[in-house]
Chains A and B, each alone.
Chain A
Amino acid sequence: MINKESEIWTEKYRPETFEEIIGQDEIVKRVKNLTDSLNIPHLLFAGPAGTGKSSLALITVKQLFGEKWHENYLELNASDERGIDVIRQKVKDFARTKAIHSVPFKVIFLDEADALTREAQQALRRTMENYTNTCRFILSCNYSSKIIDPIQSRCAIFRFKLLEKKDMDKIIKRIGEGEKLNILEDAYESLYEASEGDCRRVINLIQATASISVNITKELVNTIVSNAKPKDIKVVLEYALSGDFIAAKDKLLDIMLKESISGQDVIKAIQKEIWNLQIEPEIKVRLTEKTGEIEFRLVEGSDEFIQLESLLASFVLAGQGKI
């Protein structure tokens, strides 16, 4: 089942046929039927990361075009190329020529399509219409609700589920055997937990752990996981609660720059962290409300950091019981 010469296991163990995909049985069956008829509609794959959306798209294309899949397939990632101009240009260039194949269309896989703005999606909808004779789109997204209705109505929609424990165990086992690793029983548990149902993450974790030792233990997995976690927002909040505002904001900036995380991500982390702090429940509620307000302003404002600083100032007040 080892497919490629790749040394990166997420690629090495990427399924190559419909049968190799683990989980999502129903979806795989339906997409396979469509593919066998050599004519697919536009497809929309919705679901969490690492559940097999890209893999299924790749397999579909390889089944359609066989050896010639490379010439007839274009992969774009909307979250990196958000400008609809770029997408349009590339789509146009690609779709202008006909498919070199018995299948009369080419396939464009647009990953993370929910990263596109509504405006860009409107443009995409036109593009889908204009090139429908020469081109089929496979869109993937985390949340189908972020895709505008006109696009949804033009696609066959498939909803991917998070991988269950038994499926995840199969994958872990497969890699353990393929790479001759000694994966201990309790490591299965912690790998599953850390994976959050994301198959890519679990494979990466195994490879990262295996780079240290072939004996994969629970402890080793946990060490890797905690090393890789973004440094704690908690420290920042504790500085603020203790009244040291300057230390808090410097630390926050430091974390945001080092881990390159956005203001939105910081807000989410703070909102969760509030409930682990040693303060009165009443104050937790007020801080949560304040956090919500700031999250709202982040969207409206122009400088994330100023918004976060103002939130930290509220934490200083909370530390003095004055909020």
Chain B
Amino acid sequence: MTTLCEKYRGKCFLDVKGQDLAVDRIKAFIKIFPSKKAILLHGPTGTGKTSLAYVLAQETNSEILELNASDLRNREQLEKVLKPATQESTLFGKGRIILVDEVDGISAADKGGLPELLSLIEKTKFPIIITANDIWQQKFNLLRQKSELVPLKALNYKTILLILKEIAEKEKIQVNEEILTSISIKSRGDVRAALNDLQAVFQINKPEEIGERDKEDDVFNVLKQIFKNLVNHETLRLYDTVNMPLDEILLWLEENIPYEYHGEELAKAYEVLSKADVFRGRIHRQQHWRFLVYQNILLSAGVSSAKEKPKIGFTLYKKPSRILKIWMSNQRQQKKKSIAVKYAEYCHISVKRAMREFPVIKYIIQKPEIQKQLKLEEDEIEFLSK
């Protein structure tokens, strides 16, 4: 069966949700082509970069040639596949769109791939769409200059919720709103992830589970071994046994360290976490995935060896709560932020500064005349009166 993601990939611009700006920009790009030959869509995963390319092909009745990370993309390969595609016209004179997907996946093995791509951009007769997660690496300097940059933002959870509801309706499956909401929030702006979760819900039809339970059992077990046992030959491989990204495991450790460790152990364990996080920062910024090895060792053997003796007794581990707290607080802050935006514009200062000085500003903007001048909405005024 096809996945929901494939089944509901947008077919026209109207289907693309929550990316109005990007849609406008891409339409404009097609109009001015060939004065700009390539457009570079960048943003987090699952925000609709590839979908946009396909929608564009549909709307302009063009065929699409896709090259993604799974293809070898060295100089020869690009010359063989891409070059003819950029030069020769299509059968029946249809348009053609060339999609170079996940350009940041061009690796060291793809020798000469990037320079070749750049020279193809110069000469192409058809628009080239390039997608990437992170385009701010040094090696993309030239590519950035040659292309029209279009950022895609992580989708707001409400937009994702709308999409999920629509699909659940079309699939005629009853899922309660709470579950949809929690899937939307959990996806953190990634539609693909949300749809995959939704699919899982459809399939097991026991919605509240989403396989989370199994996952939790696994994590509990692993945490137990890390915290209770001394480092042994299995420690380094423990995290491979849970189906959970290392980043999430880090949060589980963070939450539960203080329930197991105290004093010196506590300090040692957090020291290790802090160092692991530094490696994580480097991974994120430089895409230096090799550092994952260090993150893994620090988080397993590092945390485990913070104690001198094995621990006994039962500990009930807690679910990480920080991310949820941050999310809830953000919801509350939204009103404050929207007020700060209006105040900042009126007073020629940055929104950040207005947020910082909000405690004083709050006194001032209680006055109805001022609220009128700032054009505050009903709900914002209500927020202030609290």
Contact = CB atoms under 8 A, between A and B. Distances in A.
B370 A310 contact: no
Given A309-B270, A320-B263, A322-B263, A85 B366 contact: no
Contacts of B151: 83, 85
Contact of B364 (A8, A83, A260, A314): A8
A185 to B, nearest CB: 22
A204 B360 contact: yes
A111 interface: yes
B348 A54 contact: yes
B182 interface: no
Contacts of B267: 310, 313-314, 316-317
B273 A211 contact: no
Interface string B352-373: 1101110111011111011001
Given A77-B350, A316-B263, A306 B274 contact: yes
Given A75-B348, A83-B151, A260-B333, A306 B360 contact: no
B274 A307 contact: yes
Contacts of B348: 54, 58, 75, 111
B327 to A, nearest CB: 10
A307 B278 CA distance: 9
A294 interface: yes
A25 interface: no
**Size bracket, chain A contacts:** 35 or more
Contacts of A305: 322
A205 interface: yes
Contacts of A294: 274
Interface of chain A, main secondary structure:
helix
A155 to B, nearest CB: 20
Nearest to B283: A302
A317 B306 CA distance: 14
Contacts of A211: 363-364, 366-367
A10 interface: yes
Interface string B324-337: 01100100010010
Given A306-B250, A316-B266, A7 B350 contact: no
Among A228, A245, A261, A310, max chain B CB count under 10 A is at A310
Interface in A220-242: 224, 227-229
A259 to B, nearest CB: 8
Contact of A201 (B136, B336, B347, B357): B357
Nearest to A53: B348
A79 B353 CA distance: 9
Contact of A303 (B266, B270, B280, B365): B280
8 contacts: A112-B350, A204-B357, A204-B364, A243-B263, A245-B258, A260-B333, A303-B250, A306-B277
Given A7-B367, A301-B274, A306-B250, 6 more contacts: A8-B370, A79-B353, A229-B359, A245-B266, A301-B281, A303-B250
